[in-house]
Amino acid sequence: MVSGRQYRVLIPKGKGPFPAVIFLHGPRGTGQRVIQSAFLVKPILERGYAIVAPTALEIEYRNGPGTRWVWNDAYYGRDDFEFIANMLEDVLARFPVDPAQIVTTDHSRGGSFAWYLACAVIDPCLKAFAPIAGTPVRGQPGDCASADFDFDMFYSHGHDDTVIPFAGSGSSWSDPGYMGAGEATLRLASSAGCQKDEVVEADSHDQRILSGCKTGSTVSVIGYEAGHGVPSGWSDLMLDWFETVNALE
């Protein structure tokens, strides 16, 4: 617990320090539910990674209260960047986690939060991000409006997603809408001055890789024939990517 807020940690078998995955839950979720999901945690633990799963505070939705990650302090009177920074400091002090091997991932609105967290550059240990099915909100670029960043992005999204569509969504009176998967990654790659654009097709997904970036970053977008959930096989694909880019640092 940090500043009265909770997070959960799972440590793999063996002797550390261990690489780690920070997993930020989606709307109305909790860190406890994340670590109770065998589908999510089992393949990560089997690869020798620790899992850190914090819990967001509640906001008031139209149909009642529920947890959600917040990046817009002007609207909600808080942002969660400071909590994540304090949590990371506490984790590194208490658990055998390697600060040079941390990847942050998240789902849905948690995925949207990951883009803002990446661009906010709250800690030099956080340089790899792998959000799922959550893009930045239209008209709310946050710190991503600046080209001054140095992180790697591996974004995954289902082509059949109806919650946050792969192609993005327009604004309405109740919802500002979300950027499309390709739109968000291409804007990020443009800001980073990426020169190389490659498309790789596999049986389970297609991947667009934008590299040769002036910042040294790589930006990828993965498209699955799936909906809003976490795709089967995603954990291994994401960790393969992370180990590749981390080896280049």
What are 111-121's pLDDT values in tens digits?
889 999 998 88
Residue in the block written with tokens 């997070």 = 7
The pLDDT of 224-229, averaged and rounded, is: 92
Query: 174 vs 3, 62, 68, 171, 180, CA distance in Å?
Result: 33, 10, 17, 8, 19
103, containing H or E segment: strand 97-107
pLDDT at residue 191, rounded to an integer: 83
The DSSP annotation for 81-96 comes to: HHHHHHHHHHHHHHS-
Residue 10 sits at φ, ψ, to 5 deg, of -115, 135
Whether residue 224 is predicted with pLDDT greater than 60 in this model: the reply is yes
Residue 178 has pLDDT above 80, yes or no: yes
Q: Of 247, 222, 234, which Cα lies nearest the Cα of 43?
A: 234
pLDDT per position as a tens digit, 3-52:
789 999 999 999 999 999 999 998 888 999 999 999 999 999 999 999 99
